[in-house]
Amino acid sequence: MSQACARHFPVIVIGAGLTGMSAALELERLGVAHCVIEKLPVAGGHAITVVEGGWRFDRTGHLLHLRDAERKSRILSYLDEEPLLIQRQSRIFSQGTYTKYPYQANTYGLPPQVAYECLMGFIRAQSRFEVCAPRNFEEFCRQHFGDGISEHFMLPYNARLWGVPAHEITTQWCERFVPLPNLEDVAAGAVGLERPALGYNAQFLYPRLGIGEFSKSLQRRVRHLELGQHVLHVDMRHRQIDFKDKSVTYDVLINTSPLPILLDLLGTLPEKVEKARRALRCSHLWYLDVGLKRPPGIDAHWVYVPEQKYPFYRVGAYSQFSSALVPDGCGSLYVELVSRQQPDMAQLMPMVCGALREMRIIATDSDIEFVRTRKIDFAYVIYDKAYASALADIQPYLQEALILSTGRYGGWNYSAMEDALRFGEEAARSAWELLT
C-alpha cells in the first residue's frame, strides 16, 4: 500500500491460534510491546468449540496431554474451572472386532491367524541382527513391528490418515507419536494381560464445555489482539504489513499462519525459496460432526479404522469426553473421512451409517439427529523426502529478515497442543533476544 503506516510495533504476531496467543502472553511477561493479528472473527485457530442447538463440537479431537509441570500449572491457572482429567480409552476396529490401542501391543481378540501373523512377525523383526536405517515409514514399521502388524494396521491406517502411501513418508515425525512396545508388551497383549498404557496421550485434560474454553481463557489474557484483520502483503524489506485500509510496521514478525500462506504474502521469492515452497505438501481433512439422539454405543473416546472398505479412518465421540457437550441423554461424534474430496452426502451417508451400525456406535440410522460437513485446511503436514531440504532453504531466508515462522503450521510440522504453546513461548523469547 502507498499510504504511510499508521502504527508500529516492536513485534507483530500473525495468527491467534494457540501458538500466537502463547507468544503474546510470553511477550507480555517479557515487557515487549506487540500486537496479535487474526483474520478470523474468533481466536483459537483449530482449538475452538462450535455450539449448535445444545450440542458443542470441537474441530475433531483436541486434547491437552501436558508433560511439562510448569506449563501445566500455568494452564490450570488460566481456566475458570478445573478441567476433567481423563484416562484414554481408545480402540481399533478391524476384522469385525474391537481391540485395544495401540494395535502393536494389543492383538488379543483378533482372529487367531491374524494374531499369529502379528506376533510372529514382531518376533522375527526383533530377531534381526543387522538392520539398516529405515528410508521411509514403511521400512520403519516393518523393522520395528514386523510384516503382520505392519500389513494389518500400521501401513493401511497411516496411508488413510496422511492421504499418501507409507513409503512416501519419512520417519521424522514418529519418535513421540508411534509407541514402540518391547517383546514383553507384545506377548502380554497377545494373550490379554494388562500392561501399563503406551503412548504420549495415555491421559489428558479436557475443559468440561469443550476445548474452545481453553482458547477463550488465553484470549482473555491477550491484551493486544485484533480480529478480522486479513493480511494482503508482507513487505520484508520495509518490515511492513499491508491490509485493505491500513499498514503497520514491525521490528520482528512472528508468523503462526501456514507456511505456504506466509510465503505467498511475501510476493516474489528467490528461485531456491520458491522451489522449496512448491515442495511443501500437506493434506486437508473433511470430517462430519454428528449429533446423536442417544449416547454412542461404545465406551471409547475414539476408534481407529484401518480397513479400506470403510469411508472413514477414525471416529471420535465428543460426548465421551464430557457429557456437558450434549443435551441430556444425547451423544455426538466426529467422523474423519478418508477421501480428500468434498463429500457427496447422498452417496456418503448410507456408507457411514452402515459402518457405524456395524461398529455398534449407532443402533439404527434414526439415532442420528443431524450431520454437519466440516473441512480443515492444512490438516497434516506430509513428511516426504523433500520436507527437510525445503525447510532448510525456507527458514534461514525468513530468519534473515527477522521473521520467525513457528507453530504446527507456521513451522510446518506434526505436533500436539502442548507443542503449540511451547513454540509460541520460544518464538517470543527469540524475538526478545533479537530486539535486545
Length of the chain: 436
State the residue range of the domain holding 271: 7-53+209-280+383-435
Within this chain, do residues 102 and 190 fall inside the same structural domain, yes or no?
A: yes
Note whether residue 204 is domain-resident: no
Q: Write out pLDDT tens, residues 334-372.
A: 999 999 999 999 999 999 999 999 999 999 999 999 999
Note whether residue 295 is domain-resident: yes
pLDDT band of residue 277 (cuts 50, 70, 90) is very high
pLDDT band of residue 416 (cuts 50, 70, 90) is very high
Within this chain, do residues 257 and 286 fall inside the same structural domain, yes or no?
A: no
Within this chain, do residues 405 and 270 fall inside the same structural domain, yes or no?
A: yes
What are φ and ψ of residue 32, in 5° steps?
Answer: -100, 125
- Identify the three-state secondary structure at position 193: coil
Within this chain, do residues 97 and 170 fall inside the same structural domain, yes or no?
A: yes
Question: Does the pLDDT of residue 10 top 80, yes or no?
Answer: yes
Rg (CA), the chain: 23
C-alpha closest to that of 101 among 188, 206, 202: 202
Within this chain, do residues 404 and 274 fall inside the same structural domain, yes or no?
A: yes
Q: What pLDDT is recorded for position 131?
A: 73
Note whether residue 79 is domain-resident: no
Average pLDDT over residues 98-109: 95
Average pLDDT over residues 316-329: 98
Note whether residue 257 is domain-resident: yes
Question: Does the pLDDT of residue 2 top 70, yes or no?
Answer: no
Within this chain, do residues 314 and 412 fall inside the same structural domain, yes or no?
A: no
Q: What pLDDT is recorded for position 199?
A: 67
pLDDT band of residue 195 (cuts 50, 70, 90) is confident
Note whether residue 75 is domain-resident: no
Within this chain, do residues 183 and 233 fall inside the same structural domain, yes or no?
A: no
Q: Write out pLDDT tens, residues 36-86.
A: 999 999 999 999 999 999 999 999 999 998 888 888 898 888 888 999 999
Alpha carbon distance 278, 198 (integer Å): 37
Is the alpha carbon torsion for 76, 53, 335, 324 positive or negative? positive
Q: Write out pLDDT tens, residues 217-255.
A: 999 999 999 999 999 999 999 999 999 989 999 999 999
pLDDT band of residue 330 (cuts 50, 70, 90) is very high
Grid cell, residue 255, equals: 508468523
Grid cell, residue 175, equals: 519418535
Unique residue bearing C-alpha cell 491437552: 64
Domain total in the chain: 3
pLDDT band of residue 179 (cuts 50, 70, 90) is confident
Alpha carbon distance 71, 77 (integer Å): 10
DSSP category for residue 239: T
**H helices of 195-337, where?**
212-219, 259-265, 271-279, 318-321
CB 186 within 8 A of CB 119: yes
Unique residue bearing C-alpha cell 439415532: 367
Q: What amino acid is encoded at 78 in this protein? A: Y
Question: Does the pLDDT of residue 4 top 60, yes or no?
Answer: no
Within this chain, do residues 301 and 187 fall inside the same structural domain, yes or no?
A: no
Beta bridge partners of 420: none
CB 286 within 8 A of CB 373: yes
Q: Which of 1-5, 66-70, 162-166, 222-226 has the lowest mean pLDDT?
A: 1-5
Higher pLDDT, 280 or 4: 280
Within this chain, do residues 264 and 241 fall inside the same structural domain, yes or no?
A: yes
Q: Which of 78-82, 104-108, 146-150, 429-433 has the lowest mean pLDDT?
A: 78-82
CB 409 within 8 A of CB 378: yes
Note whether residue 61 is domain-resident: no
Average pLDDT over residues 94-100: 97
Beta bridge partners of 90: 302
Within this chain, do residues 275 and 370 fall inside the same structural domain, yes or no?
A: no
Higher pLDDT, 174 or 32: 32
Average pLDDT over residues 144-155: 96
Alpha carbon distance 411, 414 (integer Å): 9
Residues contacting 162, CB < 8 A, separation 6+: 169, 283, 380, 382
What CATH number should be reported for the domain holding residue 254? 3.50.50.60
Note whether residue 419 is domain-resident: yes
Higher pLDDT, 106 or 2: 106
Question: Does the pLDDT of residue 1 top 70, yes or no?
Answer: no
Residues contacting 433, CB < 8 A, separation 6+: none
Within this chain, do residues 288 and 373 fall inside the same structural domain, yes or no?
A: yes
Pairing of strands 331-337, 282-292: antiparallel
Q: What amino acid is encoded at 332 in this protein? A: S
Residue 98: CB atoms within 10 Å? 16
Q: What pLDDT is recorded for position 129?
A: 67
Q: What pLDDT is recorded for position 176?
A: 76
Within this chain, do residues 308 and 395 fall inside the same structural domain, yes or no?
A: no
What CATH number should be reported for the domain holding residue 294? 3.90.660.10
Q: What pLDDT is recorded for position 27?
A: 98
CB 65 within 8 A of CB 73: no
Beta bridge partners of 140: none
Alpha carbon distance 105, 128 (integer Å): 19
Note whether residue 77 is domain-resident: no
What are φ and ψ of residue 294, in 5° steps?
Answer: -145, 165
Average pLDDT over residues 95-119: 96
Q: What pLDDT is recorded for position 200?
A: 67
Percentage of the chain modeled with pLDDT above 90: 87
Question: Does the pLDDT of residue 201 top 80, yes or no?
Answer: no
3-state helix, strand, coil in the chain (%, to 5): 40, 20, 40
Q: Write out pLDDT tens, residues 57-69.
A: 999 999 998 888 8
